[in-house]
Structure 1
Amino acid sequence: MDEFDQFDLLDGLAEHILAYYDGKPVGAGRIRWVDGLGKLERICILEPYRKFGLGKVIIKALEAIAVEKEITKVKLHGQTHAEGFYEKLGYHTSSDVFIEDGIPHILMTKELVAK
C-alpha cells in the first residue's frame, strides 16, 4: 500500500483527529457515519510513537465525537495483529478474518455509553 491509498473521496464526510507528540504530528484517525453507526477509520501512529498510548487517545477521542452525535455503536476494520489492542478498549470481534488492502482484518464493534 502506498501513501495514495490513504486518500479517498470520503475524507470530506468524516471528522478527523490528529495526534501530536512534542509538537510533531505523529498519528491520526477519522470517524464517519455508516448505516447509523460510527465507523472508525484510518487509525495510525508513526511507529516510533506507538509506545506512548496515542492510539488509545485517538480511539477515545473518536468515540467521544460519536457520543456527542448520539451514536451508540461504533465499528472498525482492525488489522488482526491489533485485535488485542482493540479488545482492551472494549471492542468485540464480529467477523471472520477478511483481506483489505492485502492485509488480514476483522470487523470489531463496541457499544458506547453516553456520558
Structure 2
Amino acid sequence: MIQGKWFAPGDDLSDLLPVRETVFGLSADAQDAESWNVLVLSDSVPVATGRIWWQDGSFWLGGIGVLEEYRRRHLGDLVLRLLLYKAQSHSAREVRLVCPGNLTGFFSRLGLQEQPGSSPDSVEMMIPGDRIDLDTCSRCPKQNCPNRQPC
C-alpha cells in the first residue's frame, strides 16, 4: 500500500532523512526548519520524499527523490503532485524549483516551464499558481480512455 505523510516545519524528520541521504547524500539542513516535507511509504517502507517552502514571494520545491529500487513506479510523480497540491491549497502565486537539465521533462509534464538564463546543470523552472492542474486526465494522450470526462 502506498501512503503519504506530511511533516510540518520543526517536526522530527528522522523517518525521511534516510531517503534523502541515500538519494542525494544530504542530511538535515537549515531549510528544513522552514519547509513542509512529504514522505511516501510503500508497504510502510520510506521510499520517496520532497519538500516545499516559502521564500521571496514564491513557493519553492526541492529534495524530490525516490530510492533507486522504487523508481519507475510513479512515486516521484506522486511526491510532485503532493507538493503542488500543498502550494495550491495555500493560494500560491507561483511555484519554483531548480533541477538538473536532464530532469526538466519530468517537471514539465505538470506544467513547470524553464526560466530564461538557466544553465544545463542548474535549470530554474516555474509555474504560476493559477496554472497548477493536478488532473491526470487533462494531459493524458489516450483519447478513448474510459476515465476521461467530457469538457
Q: TM-score, normalization: structure 2?
A: 0.66
Moved over 6 A (4+): none
Higher relative contact order (CA 8 A, sep 6+): 1
| Secondary structure of the structure 1 residue equivalent to 2:71 | helix
Q: Distance in 1 between matches of 2:54 and 2:32?
A: 12
**Structure 2 portions without partners, runs of 5+:** 1-20, 134-151
Q: What CA deviation, in whole Å up to 9, does each residue of 1:76-105 have, x standing for no partner?
A: 01111111111111110003216xxxxx22
Does structure 1 retain, via aligned residues, the 8 Å contact 2:40–2:46?
Answer: yes
Q: TM-score, normalization: structure 1?
A: 0.84
Of the three residues 104, 108, 112, the one matched with 2:125 is 108
How well do the aligned residues superpose, as a CA RMSD in angstroms?
2.0
**Structure 1 portions without partners, runs of 5+:** 99-103
Q: Distance in 2 between matches of 1:110 and 1:6?
A: 28
| Secondary structure of the structure 2 residue equivalent to 1:86 | helix
Equivalence map 1:2-13=2 (5 Å)? 3=25, 5-13=26-34
Partner of 1:19: 40
Q: Distance in 2 between matches of 1:6 and 1:19?
A: 17
What percent of counterpart residues are identical? 27
Does structure 2 retain, via aligned residues, the 8 Å contact 1:18–1:29?
Answer: yes
Partner of 1:77: 98
| Offset, 1:58 | 0.6
- Which entry has the higher C-alpha Rg, 1 or 2? 2
| Offset, 1:8 | 1.2
